[in-house]
Amino acid sequence: MKRWFALSAIGSDRPGIVADLAELIYECDCNLEDSSMTVLGGEFAVLLLLSGTGPDVDDRLRGACKRLEWEKRLTVFFRPLEGEPVPYGADLGLVPYEFHAVGVDKAGIVAKVCRCLARHGINITQLQSQSRPEPQSGTPLYTMRICLSLPGALDVEALRSELDQIATELRIDVALDRCQDG
């Protein structure tokens, strides 16, 4: 019977981490189904969705993860899923949107925007952010991009209004747009 697992790993970035993880999955006779990987501040982070069969698949993965932690200095976690994963939003009437924010970096941007989204029952499917100095002044400029799944019945104009209030309070520019393919 096919079983599903989520596996995450983090460690100092270096060439070969993806190969190490792919080999672990292959050696455990599992299949890599989906992945998301990034490097932040010199740290590599990955979240993998994998599947495998056999009564000892948990033990194979557990042993391989421990070996990888020891040999390659990665922190690795895995957990079994309850059943076969379904694509998020499938048959839920969710509409994909993107949110963008840009402004001088200050505390609270992510917290206030994400709390607003949560109050409206909006799920964040991806968030990317960075703070970089402006070329001329060196002032830290914060940019954030969020992929969202909005409930179909949501009042988008009310959401825009609340996000605009947050933008005014924080003195940032924001945009909320429906994704082209959605």
Per-residue model confidence (pLDDT) at position 89: 55
Q: CB–CB of 27/63 below 8 Å? A: no
**Could you tell me the residue ranges of all domains in the chain?**
3-80, 94-178
Distance (Å, whole) CA 67 – CA 94: 41
CATH 3.40.366.10 fits 3-80, yes or no: no
User: Which pLDDT score is estimated for 60?
Assistant: 96
DSSP state of 105: -
Question: Within 13 Å and on the Cβ side, how many CA atoms surround 78?
Answer: 26
Q: How far is CA 173 from the centre of its chain?
A: 23
- pLDDT under 70: residue ranges of the chain: 87-92, 181-182
Q: Rounded to 10 degrees, what is the CA torsion of 172, 177, 179, 182?
A: 140
pLDDT at 13: 97
- Per-residue pLDDT at 93: 78
Q: Which CATH superfamily is domain 94-178 in?
A: ACT domain (3.30.70.260)
Enter the pTM of the model: 0.81
